[in-house]
Structure 1
Amino acid sequence: MRLNNLRKTKHPLMTSLLLGAAALGAQPSLATEIAIACGSGDAADYCPTVAKEWAEKTGNDVKVVSTPNATTEKLSLFQQLLNSQSSDVDVMMIDIVWPGMLAKHLIDLSQYLPEDASEGFFPELIDNNTVDGRLVAMPWYTDAGMLYYRTDLLEKHGHAVPETWEELTRIATQVQAAERQAGNEDFWGYSFQGRAYEGLTTNALEWIASHGGGTIIDSDGKVTIDNPQAAKALDRAAAWIGTISPEGTLNHTEEKTRGIFQSGNALFLRNWPYVWALANGEGSEVAGKIGMAPLPHGPNGESAATLGGWNFAVSRYSEHPELAAELVEYITARDQQKDHALAMGMNPTIESLYQDEEVLDRNPAMSDLYETLTHGVTRPATVTGDAYARVSNAFFNATHRVLSGDLEGAAAVAQLQSQLERLGRRAW
């Protein structure tokens, strides 16, 4: 590593992480080294594999930089690196809501990649990664909010999969009562992420967008949250707390809600696609008894799923931007995305892979996911740039107050409108 540069940064966490990087695909002689910061979990397992393939094919070296598991800590590390204009990391794996925050520190990939490089990807993801006309990241894998349900219990009690939030509420109420009467006092109708954090932003955006209430802030930067549809969506969700959803929902995150559903104590669950394999895995109480469908919608809206996922970007302080961009192009290409889907079950960002027989044979649920992804909703991160964290914080805190019974929906969206407009005048 470039030790002199590291000493200049004076960031102990950064120094220890970079010094702990593992070299892959090492080549002798005059090979150029590209440092890549992969993700964690499945992403960390596979990103180095593909990077090593590229190194072996091109005769270059790659160095995989260790990063924290927690998303907020990872973002903090990247911001330290970029703000110090460090050249120690060339390629970074970034969250879907980071392009706007980091854009000024990232190269325009369209200046280095072929003109058709973005063709075939979900347009919403390319748009999300385009800031002020600059393509600052290429999509790697994606996620979207989904509705999980117990197929056995819907059949037992004579119900179809709900298409509207009203239907979900009614069915959840009836089945919950019946299952409790049958002896399961811990059974609930609906489990979702209600803690005051980014996960609540994704849930509440789905409620509001599916009621025709917009996306908090539109693509032009105009705050749109104060409308009757948004207020109604929040009030509906608040009515679930203590009725079809436990009071503890106010502190539930993804894994807690998965645990409730996977232990057999919920009829419906809102979560990400990763749950499918786990809920059908060995030791799961509901294995072979679950289905996955698009989230419900309001009376005058359409199903809306908040998009998640990760992307690859190149630091503008890289000493080798051309090679770094070439590595990004290689990792996110169709063949590598297919391998990622086959090996790890991760959801591709290239549309045609959802019709690939080999991919679908290995991951049957992807055929159901495709329709949801084509109607995915992005958080207003790109348009708000550096201010997104404050926007999301204001949104999920206001939503949490409604869920907690401290505010009515109409009052919450009116207050939020004023708060975000003030923030927008200063920040975007």
Structure 2
Amino acid sequence: MVDLKKFSGEHLTIALHRGEIDDPPIRDWAERFYEDTGITIDVIDVKPQEYLCQLMAGGRNRKSPYNLIASAPIWLNQLVVPGYYEDLAYLYANRELTMEETVYGMENDFFKNYMEYAAWYDPESQMPKSGKDSMLMAVPGTHTGCQILICRTDILDQYGFQIPETWEEFNEVVKRISQPKKGFYGTSLCGDRQGALPIIDWYPRLTSQGGRQFRGTVGERNLHSCALSEEGIRAYEWILDILPYTPDDYIHYTLKDGERDMLQGKIGMQINTTAFVFPDVYWDSQRSQVADRIEAVPVPGVGKYRGVAYGGGWAWSIMAAEEKKEAAWLAAQYFSSPEFDQYRCIRYGITPIRRSTIRNDTVRKAQPWVGCLEDIIDRAVEPEYFYLPEIYRIADIINRHLTQGIAAQRPAEKVLAELDQEVNELLRLGGWQL
């Protein structure tokens, strides 16, 4: 039995990555956390580059800038490989410090797939993975994320369509229901990602065929881009096929534009990345004109790969230099508990980290879109370049080639070959291809 008051009188600073919107629910529960534990907290959301620089400096100087940190595998090479993170396995093994809810989570309730890319680190591959020699670099966590398809069921019914299960069916529906002259479009495509990682349109069409964007591992230094593939070409061509049935000015169309148009009832079907645009907004009758006419479903795909799309998430880590490791461990567990996970999903529409949250009737009533998530999160995939320091340079290359190629309606083979060439050259320069 964990003594919640063991660290009464301590003060902790909890840091989160600005833009992920994970701080409001923690601030909401700060007083409750103090009443239960006697620990006071400051909650800070830090600008991304500043956050990483602070953590790297803290690792080098053996002085943790924050007691508990929200972390993601995008920083593996900068923070985990050099040994700046604590291996949390020994804390988890100590049952005087580890709550039953945490044990239940690790054994049954946290999504195994989410833990594979957000919690475990394999030193041989230098990539997220559980195994005999893996390190527990983090514990779930602040949120997961995945991709779903939001459909206007009233429009599908009007035209006599079922929810599309393949991309061919999807494209057929898009063409049939579009009425551009009346300002209604079968779907939307996001050409201007405004710095967002390139996982929005082409990537889910790739992975839902069983395709991969990269092959190899970081540790073996054989990572290479393989966008030019049968799956990659089909994904690109499916987008070209429906471009005329999407809002104008594709190259400047943003996620916020897509959100606005969906809320105003101008879009028939839309791929939603739950950590980029929180889906709860579409079911909010105060803001959405379609709240009672939509349904969340898996993205289309090929056979067993239907629903396989991007997945990600942030988790709790503690730096090796941290002096209050045990108190920080208690806080990490508290802000990963079933009750807290349910609260932040209901109140803020944050994608859950626990199966029990998705299965909870109260949560499903408040956030109808979560009902389809369990199998989707279980099979979601992250691109392998996420684990390299060059992640944002690679993302810029991918964004540029795809956006400009689609806007100009250039052939898939040429665009993807040029994309591969530029990414692979960067990987060679970085030492990730030997």
Pick aligned residue for 1:128 from 94, 117, 121: 117
Aligned position for 2:129: none
Structure 1 pair 300/372, CA: closer, same or farther in 2 (3 Å)?
A: closer
Whether the aligned pair in 2 keeps the contact of 1:297 and 1:303 (CA below 8 Å) is yes
Pairing 1:63–2:42 present: yes
CA shift for structure 1 position 257: 0.5
SS at match of 2:70: strand
Percent identity of paired positions between Structure 1 and Structure 2: 18
User: SS of 1:111's equivalent?
Assistant: helix
User: Are the structure 2 counterparts of residues 339 and 263 from structure 1 closer, same or farther at C-alpha, using a change threshold of 3 Å?
Assistant: closer
Which of 176, 195, 210 in structure 1 is aligned with 2:192?
A: 195
Question: Does structure 1 residue 397 correspond to structure 2 residue 400?
Answer: yes
CA distance in 1, matches of 2:330, 2:199: 34
Amino acid corresponding to residue 158 of structure 2 in structure 1: K
SS of equivalent to 1:200: coil
Query: What residue is the counterpart of 1:308 in the other structure?
Result: 312
TM-score computed with the length of structure 1 as normaliser: 0.81
Q: Deviation of residue 170 (structure 1)? A: 1.1
Q: CA RMSD in A?
A: 3.0
SS at match of 2:183: coil
User: What's the counterpart of residue 150 of structure 2?
Assistant: 148
Check conservation: 1:226, 1:414, Cα contact below 8 A: yes
Contact 1:234 1:402 in 2 (8 A): no
Contact 2:281 2:287 in 1 (8 A): no
Give the TM-score normalised by structure 2: 0.80
CA contact (8 A) 2:148 2:271 kept: yes
Query: Which whole-Å CA distance do the structure 2 matches of 1:30 and 1:123 have between them?
Result: 33
CA distance, structure 2, for counterparts of residue 248 and residue 369 of structure 1: 32
2:396 is aligned with 1:417: no
Gaps (5+ residues) in structure 2?
Answer: 95-102, 124-133
Deviations along 1:295-323, whole A, 9 cap, x unmatched? Answer: 11247953322113332222233222232
Amino acid at match of 1:345: G
Cα offset for 1:283?
A: 4.2
Q: Secondary structure at the match of 1:291?
A: strand
Matches within 5 A, 1:74-93: 75=52, 78=55, 86-93=63-70
Q: 2:177 aligns with which of 165, 175, 178?
A: 175
Which of 296, 316, 323 is 1:319 aligned to?
A: 323
**1:48 partnered with 2:27:** yes
Measure the CA separation in 2 of the matches of 1:268 and 1:322. 47
Asked if structure 2 preserves the Cα contact closer than 8 Å seen for 1:34 and 1:90, the reply is yes
State the Cα deviation string for residues 224-258 of structure 1 (Å, max 9, x = none). Answer: 433222122112213332x1123422222322101
Shift in CA distance, 423/325, structure 1 to aligned 2, threshold 3 Å: farther
Report the equivalent of 2:380.
376
Instruction: Please tell me whether the aligned partners of residues 210 and 301 of structure 1 are also in contact (alpha carbons under 8 angstroms).
Output: yes
Which of 1, 5, 15 lines up with 1:37 in the alignment? 15
- The residue number in structure 2 matching 1:159 is 161
What amino acid maps onto 2:147 in structure 1? G
Aligned equivalents of 1:395 and 1:315: distance in 2?
A: 32
Specify the code of the residue in structure 2 equivalent to 1:119. Answer: E
Residues 221-370 of structure 1 mapped to structure 2, 5 A cutoff:
222-223=223-224, 224-241=226-243, 243-273=244-274, 275-281=278-284, 282-298=286-302, 301-370=305-374
* Alignment: residue pair count: 392
| Cα deviation, residue 85, structure 1 | 5.2
Gaps of 5+ in 1: 1-26
